[in-house]
Amino acid sequence: MGKRSRMDSTTTTSSRAATDAERLQQQQQQLNSDTNQSPHITKDNIDTFNYFQLFGLVTPTTSSTATAAGSNGGGNDVTLSVIDVAAVRRTYRRLSLRFHPDKDDSDEARHAFEVVRTALETIIDSTKLAAYVKTLDTACGGAGSGGHPGEEARQRQRAQQAHVEAEWAADMLIQRAQERLAKEAAARQAAQEREEAAQQLLSELTSSLNTPFQLMEAELVRDWDVDEEMVSMKTKEVMKLLHQLASADSGWIPHFMQEGASRKRGRDYTAL
């Protein structure tokens, strides 16, 4: 009789676990297919939603996940197995376009854009998803697994949830910021090395062209002080001399021609 009771208890537990897992999957599929009922998410109220709510998914708890895992013989991956990743990515694209910095450059929109991206990275990664579910369950204190808490309890739950998600998002942002800074530092180092190499090449080419004679000539030219009045006076003197030479040339030419003619007549007379 006792053996039969234990068998009935085991059968009842397995049946209840299977029913809970099936109910969780049905709720998930219903939310995935009915996107019109999802709340409107804005850059001002995005922190009031957890990562599951952003994509219209049922928010699981550690207890519900463990129950579903027991019925499927698996671990925390059961939470990921009931998620329509394609639908999640479609929702992500819609939200990321809504909050994209190119469309809205406000600080609130940038924060919302980072939250949506962090939410996607968490939802589609089984390890991050399992850790996130545990943080939600710890923050909510198990309130999500039973009953409907009052308004004050829901407010406390949202505040705790927002705090946990803010810490989670901050860690992700710090990691991405460190990666970005490392890339920027590497790019600056590469640019500096290219600039130094170009300067070195230019210096070598310049030094090969600047021979000692050229350097001395350039130094003399820099030190040469030209007096404009002196140049003008010397120019006038040269012009005066040229004019005198021209006048003398004009008087000598007839004399030379006459003397040359007389010598020619003398030679002709002697020949006769």
3-state SS of the chain? Answer: CHHHHHHHHHHHHHHHHHHHHHHHHHHHHHHHHCHHHCCCCCCCCHHHCCHHHHCCCCCCCHHHHHHHHHHHCCCCHHHHHCCCHHHHHHHHHHHHHHHCCCCCCCHHHHHHHHHHHHHHHHHCCHHHHHHHHHHHHHHHCCHHHCCCCCHHHHHHHHHHHHHHHHHHHHHHHHHHHHHHHHHHHHHHHHHHHHHHHHHHHHHHHHHHHCCHHHHHHHHHHHHCCCCHHHHHHHHHHHHHHHHHHHHHHHHHHHHHHHHHHHHHHHHHHHHC
**What does the pLDDT read at residue 37?**
42
- The stretch 62-79 carries a mean pLDDT of 49
Tell me what pLDDT residue 154 has: 65
Better-predicted residue by pLDDT, 40 or 219: 40
Average pLDDT, the chain: 71
Q: Percent of the chain having pLDDT more than 70?
A: 53
pLDDT at 217: 66
166: pLDDT confidence band, cut at 50, 70 and 90?
A: confident
d(CA 188, CA 192): 6
Determine the pLDDT at residue 89: 92
Whether the predicted pLDDT of 189 surpasses 60: yes
With cut-offs at 50, 70 and 90, classify the pLDDT of residue 174.
confident
State yes or no: pLDDT of 176 exceeds 50.
yes
* For residues 16-33, average pLDDT: 50
Cα dihedral 244, 246, 251, 253 sign: positive
What percent of the chain is predicted at pLDDT more than 90? 11
Q: What is the pLDDT of residue 213?
A: 61
Range of weakest confidence among 45-54, 192-201, 217-226: 217-226
> Higher confidence at residue 216 or residue 100?
100
Least confident stretch, 18-22, 129-133, 202-206? 18-22
Q: How confident is the model at residue 153 (pLDDT cuts 50, 70, 90)?
A: low
- For the chain, the domains span 10-188, 235-271
Q: Region 5-15: what's the mean pLDDT?
A: 49
